[in-house]
Amino acid sequence: MNALANLKQPFEIIDLIHAGLPFGEFEGLRQKLGISAESLAEAARINTRTLHRRKKEGGFTPEESDRLYRLIVLYERSVDAFRSADAARDWLTRPGRVFGGRNPLQYADTEVGYLELLQVIEGIKYGGNFG
């Protein structure tokens, strides 16, 4: 996740998403989460054949980039809320009853799920126990 690391302004992030996130962003998040490429692709709603094509091409479409960016934000905010990369990884990949048996990454495959997860993460950050 190097391309996003140095961007501070929202317009810079938006421009990068419009241009398409580089494949390295996907791989960096996958490694941090400790999950398979297939699992992360499923969470980002990118089918396996398309994922292989994107790897060869070196990047994603704006729509795919937007979905991938949401997952990156969830990871970063979870690390902040739990104060631990290991705890965040565990929470994001463990199914929870609050999420209808899905894990948070799967739950975030829609805008509605993503926005709800941001609220849950804020609750966790300030002492709540969700999922």
Q: Give me the pLDDT at residue 1, please.
A: 52
Q: Are 33 and 93 in contact (CB under 8 A)?
A: yes
* H helical segments located in 2-61: 10-19, 23-33, 37-43, 48-57
| DSSP summary character for residue 59 | B
| DSSP summary character for residue 93 | H
Whether pLDDT at 109 is above 60: yes
Question: CB neighbours (10 Å) of residue 29?
Answer: 23
pLDDT, one tens digit per residue, over 68-93 is 999 999 999 999 999 999 999 999 99
Whether pLDDT at 128 is above 90: no
Indicate the length of the chain as a whole number: 131
Per-domain boundaries in the chain: 10-125
